[in-house]
Chains A and B, each alone.
Chain A
Amino acid sequence: ILNVEQSPQSLHVQEGDSTNFTCSFPSSNFYALHWYRWETAKSPEALFVMTLNGDEKKKGRISATLNTKEGYSYLYIKGSQPEDSATYLCAFRRGAGTALIFGKGTTLSVSS
């Protein structure tokens, strides 16, 4: 059974705070790790796709790192804004021809 674990389950921060979430996945047979942003009443949107150990990706105030040897990825949000409020999903892929296995997500709420 492949488990993708995300923590914390939910998080509430003030506008301007920086925050980070963790995604843990099996470290064997790694192929790719995805991060998605899922706003209420919308569909998940891809943020990052990472494939190499040590990968770091950045999009505006959001960045992600990847450690495939120990099986974890961090998502960082610098200077959180209310519009960052969403559920952040990570998803693991163990090989070509396999589908993404999603974690349960971290729900971020940012207050102004």
Chain B
Amino acid sequence: DTAVSQTPKYLVTQMGNDKSIKCEQNLGHDTMYWYKQDSKKFLKIMFSYNNKELIINETVPNRFSPKSPDKAHLNLHINSLELGDSAVYFCASSQGQGASNYGYTFGSGTRLTVV
């Protein structure tokens, strides 16, 4: 069983379209994250949710909107896609948002290509 699963794995779409990436974790974790891997392979935090509540919202264009229907799911919706949105997006989860001892479990990533 995949602990953190993202769909789709690959997404090619045209500029201006709206798309969503889904993430689900079956670990019982209470905190989920979206990271963006930029062109220099650098992982940057975008959002974090704890028990469906938004706790971290970094400087991300408001075209990006996360949605957490329950603590096992954190989806990422992107409006009006731009060329610069092309990247690999990673979902992750952890237990204990306030605790310091837990590593993150990552999904396998979604490679988004905007053409």
Give residues in A with beta carbon < 8 Å to B: 31-32, 34, 36, 42-49, 51, 87, 89, 93, 96-102, 104-105
Contact = CB atoms under 8 A, between A and B. Distances in A.
The 4 closest A-B pairs by CB, nearest first: A46-B103, A43-B106, A32-B100, A99-B45
Contacts, number: 58
Contacts of B55: 97
Contacts of B105: 46
Q: Interface centre among B40, B41, B108, by most A CB within 10 Å?
A: B41
19 contacts: A31-B100, A32-B100, A32-B101, A34-B104, A43-B106, A43-B109, A44-B43, A44-B90, A48-B103, A51-B100, A87-B41, A93-B100, A96-B100, A99-B48, A100-B45, A100-B104, A101-B45, A102-B42, A104-B41
B100 A99 contact: no
Interface string B88-115: 0010000001111111111111000000
Interface residues of B, number: 27
B27 interface: no
Given A43-B109, A49-B101, A97-B97, 14 more contacts: A34-B104, A36-B103, A42-B108, A44-B106, A45-B106, A46-B104, A47-B103, A51-B100, A89-B43, A96-B98, A98-B56, A99-B33, A102-B43, A104-B40
A49 B103 contact: yes
Contact of B90 (A34, A43, A99): A43
Contacts of A89: 43
B6 to A, nearest CB: 9
B62 to A, nearest CB: 19
